[in-house]
Structure 1
C-alpha cells in the first residue's frame, strides 16, 4: 500500500491536467484578489466616530424590537393593530459601527463569503481531477495492467483514491493559505475595522478546514463516479446533469412558482452550505408572506450528510470494481 500510494502521488502531480488545473485555479484566485482590493478603502477617524454614534441608538432600537417580537410570539404581549412581525423575530444582524461604515472591500467583514466561494471552486476542481485521475486509467487499459502487477483490487483503488484526495487537500491548503495572506497584506487600512481578533482568526482557520473537507469530498465523488462508469466522461456527465437538472433546475422551478422549496432538504448543496456557514435556518419573512425555505440544518448534520453520501458512492465504486473484475 505504501509503495502504491507513493507511485500514485507522484503520478498525480506529474499529470498535465493537474498542472493545468492548478494554474487555472491560481490565476482565478489572483484575479479575484486583485479585483476585490481595487474596491478597498480606509474609513477616516471622523467616519468611524460618526458610525459609532449612529450605531448606539440603532442597536438599542434593534434590541427593543427583538424583545417585543419575542414577547408577542410567546403570547406575553398582544400585537399592535396592523403590526407585521418577521418570522423567528429575525431583524437581521444587530447594527454595529463596522456595519454602518460605507467603505469598499474589507477582508475582516467579507472573508466568510470569500471562503464559501473558494469551497465551490476547490470542490469543482477536485471533482475534475478525481474523475480524470482514475477515469483515464480505465479507458486506456492502464488499470488492467496495474492489476496484473498488483492484483489486490481494493488496495489498488484505495491507494489511488487516497493519493488524489490527499493531493487535492494539500493544494487547497496551500492555495487558501496564500490567498488569505494576500488579502491580509493588501487589505486597506490599519484601524480596528481591518484587524481581526484571536477568536476571529480561530473561526477563519476552522472555516478553512471546512473548505478543505468540501474539496476532498468533491474529489472523492468525482473519483468514485468515474470508477463506477469506467471513464472520465461518465463522472463529468453525471456531475453536469446533477447540477443542471437537480441543483439549478429544482431551485428554478420553485422560484418560478413562488412556493416553498420542497427539494432543498434533498440537495447536497444545502448541507454543504450548512457545513460551511455553521448551520442553516429558514429564510426570514413576514407572517403574510409565503416561506421560500423551511430547511433547517446544523453544521454537524451538514458534515454527516456529506460524509455519508461520499462514503456510499465510494463503497459502490469498490463493490463495482470487485464484481466486474470477477467476471
Structure 2
C-alpha cells in the first residue's frame, strides 16, 4: 500500500480536519453573505437621490454662510468686541464651491468587482492560512501524542520519508481545498458584483492580476500549514504549535508593538509579521510616520516620512522562517529517539 495514499486518506478521514475545514468554509460564506447584504446596486434612482442630497448639503452651507456673514456685519456695526468668531473682513465668509459636494459621497455602498475582488482575496487567504496552520499542526501532533508515529515507523522505518510524505499529503489536501474554495469565492463575488454592484471593465489583465494574487495567497496558506506542521513535529504535540502561535501573537506582536511605541520607534509596523503578510499579498505596503512632518510644503501640508515594505522583503522572511523551522523538524526527526 502506498504511504502517500495512506497519509492522504488519514488526513481526510480525521474528524478534526473535517470540522476545522467546515468552520473555515462557514466563515468564508459569512464574509461573502455580509458583503452581499451591505452593498447595493446603483442605478438612475440612486444617482438622482445622491444628486439631491449633495444639492441639499450645498444649500445648507450657503444658508449658513449667509447667516454668519449677516451676523458679522451686525457685530461690526454694533461695535461688538472681536471674540474670534468672525474674521476682520466679513466678505471672507463665503460658502464652499458647488463642486466641493460630490454626489458619489451620498451613494450607497456598491461592490465593484474589478476594484474590490483583489482586496477580498486577503481575508480569504488569512482564513485558509489559519485553517492550514491548525490542521497541519494537528495532523502530525496527534500522531506523536497518541503513539501513532511509533507504530507507523515500525511499518516504514525511514523517518524522513515518513515525515515528508505526511507533509506532502497535507499540502496536497490544502491545495485541493484552496483551489475549490477559490472557485466558489470568485463565483460568489461575481454574483455580488452582478446583483449588488458592477462587473464592468473586468478585463483579461484584471483576471491575470487576480490569478497572481491568488497564487501568492496559495503559497502563503501552504507556508502557514508547513510552519504549523514543523512546530508540532518539533514539540511532538499539537499544543507546541498552537502555544507558539499564541506566544508569537501576544508577546511577539502586541508586546513588541507596545514597547516600540513607548520607545517612540518610527515605523513600528515594520517589526510586525502581519505587515509582511499584507505586503506579500498586495506586493507593497507603504508605512507613514505622521510624527515626522519634516518636509512641509508652502501650503503647510505635512508630508510624512514613508517606508515601503515589498513582497521581496516578505518572501525573504517567509522563506527564512520556513527553512529554519522545517529544517529543525527534519533534523530532530532524524536525530532524536522515537519513544
Give 2:37's aligned residue: 38
Of 215, 240, 253, the match for 1:247: 253
1:60-79 correspondence runs (5 A)? none
Give 2:7's aligned residue: 8
1:104 aligns with 2:120: no
Retained in 2: the 8 A contact 1:260–1:292? no
Give 2:278's aligned residue: 273
Retained in 1: the 8 A contact 2:291–2:304? no
Q: Residue 214 of structure 1: CA displacement? A: 0.9
Local SS of the residue matching 2:2:
helix
Structure 2: state its 5+ residue gaps.
55-101, 295-301
Local SS of the residue matching 1:199:
helix
Residues 271/287 of structure 1: CA separation in 2 closer, same or farther (3 Å cut): closer
Residues 208/182 of structure 1: CA separation in 2 closer, same or farther (3 Å cut): same
Retained in 2: the 8 A contact 1:220–1:310? yes
Structure 1: state its 5+ residue gaps.
55-96
1:214-253 correspondence runs (5 A)? 214-253=220-259
CA distance in structure 1 between the aligned counterparts of 2:257 and 2:305, rounded to whole angstroms? 11
Give 2:329's aligned residue: 317
1:136 aligns with 2:150: no
The one-character-per-residue Cα deviations of 1:246-271 (angstroms, maximum 9, x if unpaired) are: 12332344456664245x44433332
Residues 254/123 of structure 1: CA separation in 2 closer, same or farther (3 Å cut): same
Retained in 1: the 8 A contact 2:28–2:127? no
TM-score (norm 1): 0.76
Larger Rg: 2
Give 2:288's aligned residue: 283
Residues 293/161 of structure 1: CA separation in 2 closer, same or farther (3 Å cut): farther
Q: Residue 283 of structure 1: CA displacement? A: 1.9
Local SS of the residue matching 1:280:
strand
Residues 261/288 of structure 1: CA separation in 2 closer, same or farther (3 Å cut): closer
Which structure: greater strand fraction?
2
Residues 159/191 of structure 1: CA separation in 2 closer, same or farther (3 Å cut): closer
* Number of equivalences: 281
CA distance in structure 1 between the aligned counterparts of 2:21 and 2:187, rounded to whole angstroms? 18
Residues 300/257 of structure 1: CA separation in 2 closer, same or farther (3 Å cut): closer
TM-score (norm 2): 0.73
Residues 28/195 of structure 1: CA separation in 2 closer, same or farther (3 Å cut): farther
Give 1:72's aligned residue: none
Q: Residue 211 of structure 1: CA displacement? A: 1.0
